[in-house]
Amino acid sequence: MKMDDIARLAGVSKAAVSLAFSGKPGIGPETRERILQIARENGYQPKARASLREQQAGSITFLVFANSGIVLEEYYQQPFFRELLHYIEERCRSHGYSLLYTSADMGSVQENLRAISGEKRSEGIILLGTNLDKALLEQVAAQWKGPLVVLDTCFETLPIPFVHINNILGGYQAGSHLCGLGHRHIGYIASDIRIRNFDDRRAGFMQALQENGVELAAENAFSVAPTILSSQESLKKQLSAYLEKGHAMPTAFFCECDYIAISAIKSLTELGYRVPADISVVGFDNISEARIITPELTTIHVEKERMAQLSVDMIMDIIQSDSAVTAKILVDTHLVERMSTAEPGAERS
């Protein structure tokens, strides 16, 4: 039996079969399991293509609880996570390790971790924590006894290693930037799905406004889906209803992530507003799409490469030293000023 036969029996492409065998992202967990099951039933063994160095090296598992909140099932296609994965894989390779990819079910933590342990292919887990709460992280730590590092969230009261964004600083930098430009009538566009990162960004933003004597009026806060890059009817309806009540449109908006910011720019443009001549917009994350949108997006840069390097180096240190000491690393952000912000009412060529 050949790989083409497996693809035909599974009703998928040969490329999908290759992704299933390699453990790389690109197909859903159900498709991957169906392909592997067909291969087992037919006694098919994929040919080893790894170099001698790769065969001798260990493996790290990148574990994601996908299709929950902001982390979609095809998370590897979302710009922020795509960049993180690229840097993590590069760092693993520099240590002589390969990176395996596993998507898990929120309701089957024990079974998923038992499967990883049973395969005996992974020496440790880098867990994407973006959409995870404290209770689930406690459950993972209790079930998985091996090396573990959680990336992109942090709970200070858990004795687990974390590598996290300084979201409070990022929100503070965004607020300080808008206040520094002279904006006083400021709006806030939040995600309608709440995670720790967004709450921290709001806290930092509010602190900057308070220090500058600016108040965020309750009616100036809106919420939208955080994973849509196109304009959103829900936002246009919220803004239209806001105007119908006699409110003046804010001169600037802070958005909790770049997805929301890009969607907001498109929505505002369709409503007849010019960015930044009429309204300034600031995002958060500095995804690659921030440079493609017109105007280019002013945003808070997240050191995704540095976070990836730190998470891999930390788990390697745990593997090699077998240390019980845990640490939490907070990675600072910085503002990237582009063309989507200006002084209130300023024309910009």
CATH number of domain containing 23: 1.10.260.40
Q: What pLDDT score does 143 carry?
A: 86
What percent of the chain is helix, strand and coil (3-state, nearest 5)?
A: 45, 15, 40
* Residue 153, in any domain of the structure: no
* Residue 308, in any domain of the structure: no
Between 315 and 50, the higher pLDDT residue: 315
Q: Is the dihedral of CA 250, 252, 255, 260 positive or negative?
A: positive
Express each pLDDT in 294-313 by its tens digit: 999 999 999 999 999 999 99
Instruction: For residue 12, give its domain range.
Output: 1-49
* Residue 203, in any domain of the structure: yes
* Residue 12, in any domain of the structure: yes
Between 57 and 243, the higher pLDDT residue: 243
Express each pLDDT in 151-196 by its tens digit: 999 999 999 999 999 999 999 999 999 999 999 999 999 999 999 9
* Residue 124, in any domain of the structure: no
Between 349 and 9, the higher pLDDT residue: 9
- Phi, psi angles (nearest 5°) of residue 247: -80, 150
Q: What pLDDT score does 229 carry?
A: 86
| Cα Rg of the chain, angstroms | 23
Buried b (16+ CB within 10 A) or exposed e, 307-337: bbbbbbbbbbbbbeeeeeeeeebeeebebbe
Q: CA–CA distance from 18 to each of 12, 39, 47 (Å)?
A: 11, 12, 11
* pLDDT at residue 57 is higher than 70: no
Q: What pLDDT score does 215 carry?
A: 96
- What's the total number of domains in the chain? 2
User: Which of 59, 15, 67, 9 is closest to 37 using CA atoms?
Assistant: 9
The CATH number given to whatever domain includes residue 286 is 3.40.50.2300
* Residue 311, in any domain of the structure: no
Q: In the chain, pLDDT over 70 holds for what percent of residues? A: 92
* Residue 34, in any domain of the structure: yes
* Residue 279, in any domain of the structure: yes
Q: What pLDDT score does 25 carry?
A: 66
Which tokens belong to 224?
A: 């939208």
Which tokens belong to 325?
A: 């000491």
Express each pLDDT in 251-276 by its tens digit: 999 999 999 999 999 999 999 999 99
pTM, 2 dp: 0.81
Q: What pLDDT score does 349 carry?
A: 37
* pLDDT at residue 250 is higher than 80: yes
